[in-house]
């Protein structure tokens, strides 16, 4: 299905179950729905071609893993047409929320409509062509604050942590850093390297959250991604209330393996030191707060 020079990437392997049952209400806070392409075609201007991962496959993933709730991040390969994401959220009802890139043409009426349809976050990234400046972040925050959304950013370089530190304190919305913020620090330099200390301080403000996701992208080795464990164990110990978990299923943009197994990505939470209380915070309580799910934790 590749077109011209658009590269192919792998599809997700079949879902696997974690070693231990998940708490009721567990949420995967970042994944995607793609296809069927006969109904929801990929955008011609996409950066990659990915096998279909339709709602039926997502339901299977949820059933096998025990995940009760999901946040569908509208995938860039689908372009500006949000139908595949919005239809999936509508089908899943209160078990789903969504995040979306705010296009310049989205006026307040459109954002209000997206809120009614289950969107709860605005995605920003240099990978999407966004200019990450204090002005941009504050502008987006002001637009989405009336709806209780958050800003999700996949940081691309260490200097961005300084930017977040400068703006997070007075933002009217939560700031969520995607995929371990792993482009901002290195495994070789230890937990006391300046960039990782800066990340720890950001989480310590209570204004910034980190998404425990993309571990297979950050590590050159397969499960249990041993090089990441000292860093993530530190964060679990210091700031469990500022962490959420995501699979990034079906792991788009991966031209080669190894592809992660869903059960292993959940097992990894235990590997990095999450006890039952931390698992409940990370998988249930904090996603309820950030994404507006009906509270089950009470």
The residue among 255 and 72 whose pLDDT is bigger is 72
The residue among 270 and 45 whose pLDDT is bigger is 270
Query: Could you report the per-residue pLDDT of 99-128, keeping only the tens digit for each?
Result: 999 988 899 999 999 999 999 999 987 656
Query: Could you report the per-residue pLDDT of 147-202, keeping only the tens digit for each?
Result: 999 999 999 999 999 999 999 999 999 999 999 999 999 999 999 999 999 999 99
Kindly state the average pLDDT of the residues 120-142. Answer: 85
> Sign (positive/negative) of CA torsion 185, 187, 188, 193?
positive
Kindly state whether residue 268 falls inside one of the protein's structural domains. yes
Task: List the beta strands (DSSP E) in the chain.
Answer: 27-31, 69-73, 96-101, 119-124, 150-153, 175-177, 208-212, 243-245
Q: Is the pLDDT assigned to residue 70 strictly greater than 80?
A: yes
H-state helical runs in 117-261: 134-144, 159-167, 194-204, 215-218, 229-238
Considering only CA atoms, give the Rg of the chain.
18
Query: Could you report the per-residue pLDDT of 13-53, keeping only the tens digit for each?
Result: 999 999 999 999 999 999 999 999 999 999 998 989 999 99
> What region, left, alpha or beta, does residue 158 occupy, with left being phi > 0 and alpha being psi -120 to 50 degrees?
alpha
Kindly state whether residue 66 falls inside one of the protein's structural domains. yes
For residue 1, the model assigns a pLDDT of 43
For residue 220, the model assigns a pLDDT of 87
Query: Could you report the per-residue pLDDT of 199-212, keeping only the tens digit for each?
Result: 999 999 999 999 99
Kindly state whether residue 13 falls inside one of the protein's structural domains. no
Kindly state whether residue 256 falls inside one of the protein's structural domains. yes
Q: Is the pLDDT assigned to residue 4 strictly greater than 60?
A: no
- Domain count within the chain: 1
Within 8 A by CB and 6+ apart from 94, the residues are 293, 294
Q: How far is CA 157 from CA 163, 183, 205, 222, 268, in A?
A: 11, 6, 21, 24, 25
User: Which residue has 């009217």 as its token pair?
Assistant: 172
For residue 104, the model assigns a pLDDT of 81
For residue 2, the model assigns a pLDDT of 42
Kindly state whether residue 99 falls inside one of the protein's structural domains. yes
Q: Using DSSP, state whether 214 is helix, strand or coil.
A: coil
Please state, for a pLDDT cut of 90, what percent of the chain lies above it: 88
Q: What is the mean pLDDT of the chain?
A: 94
For residue 132, the model assigns a pLDDT of 85
For residue 297, the model assigns a pLDDT of 56
Kindly state whether residue 265 falls inside one of the protein's structural domains. yes
Q: Inter-axis angle of helices 229-238 and 194-204, to 10 degrees?
A: 30
Output phi, psi for 142, to 5 deg: -65, -35
Within 8 A by CB and 6+ apart from 251, the residues are 10, 12, 216, 259, 260
Kindly state the average pLDDT of the residues 130-136. Answer: 85
Residues 154, 290: Cα–Cα separation, whole Å = 17
CATH assignment at residue 101: 3.20.20.140
pTM: 0.95
Residues 16, 209: Cα–Cα separation, whole Å = 27
Kindly state whether residue 22 falls inside one of the protein's structural domains. no
Concatenating the DSSP letter of every residue in 169-193 gives: GG-SS-EEE-GGGGGGS-GGG-TTS
Please give the residue range of the domain that contains residue 65. Answer: 27-291
Kindly state whether residue 4 falls inside one of the protein's structural domains. no
């Amino acid at each position: 299905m590749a077109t011209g020079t658009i590269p192919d990437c792998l599809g997700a392997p079949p879902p696997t179950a974690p070693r231990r049952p998940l708490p009721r209400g567990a949420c995967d806070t970042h994944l995607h729905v793609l296809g069927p392409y006969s109904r929801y075609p990929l955008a011609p201007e996409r950066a990659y071609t990915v096998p279909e991962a339709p709602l039926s496959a997502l339901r299977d993933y949820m059933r096998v893993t025990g995940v009760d709730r999901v946040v569908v991040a509208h995938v860039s390969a689908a372009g500006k047409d949000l139908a595949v994401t919005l239809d999936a959220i509508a089908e899943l009802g209160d078990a789903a929320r969504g995040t979306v890139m705010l296009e310049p043409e989205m006026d307040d009426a459109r954002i209000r409509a997206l809120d009614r349809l289950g969107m709860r976050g605005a995605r920003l990234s240099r990978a999407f062509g966004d200019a990450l400046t204090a002005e941009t972040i504050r502008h987006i925050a002001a637009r989405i604050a009336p709806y209780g959304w958050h800003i999700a950013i996949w940081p691309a370089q260490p200097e961005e942590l300084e930017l977040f530190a400068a703006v997070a304190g007075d933002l009217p919305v939560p700031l969520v850093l995607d995929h371990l913020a792993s482009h901002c620090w290195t495994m070789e330099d230890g937990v006391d390297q300046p960039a990782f200390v800066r990340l720890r301080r950001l989480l310590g403000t209570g204004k910034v959250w980190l998404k425990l996701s993309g571990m297979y992208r950050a590590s050159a080795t397969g499960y249990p991604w041993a090089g990441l464990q000292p860093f993530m164990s530190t964060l679990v110990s210091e700031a469990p209330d500022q962490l959420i978990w995501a699979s990034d299923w079906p792991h788009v943009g991966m031209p080669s393996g190894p592809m992660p197994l869903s059960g292993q990505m959940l097992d990894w939470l235990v590997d990095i030191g999450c006890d039952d209380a931390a698992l409940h915070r990370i998988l249930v309580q904090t996603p309820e707060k950030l994404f507006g799910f009906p509270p089950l934790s009470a």
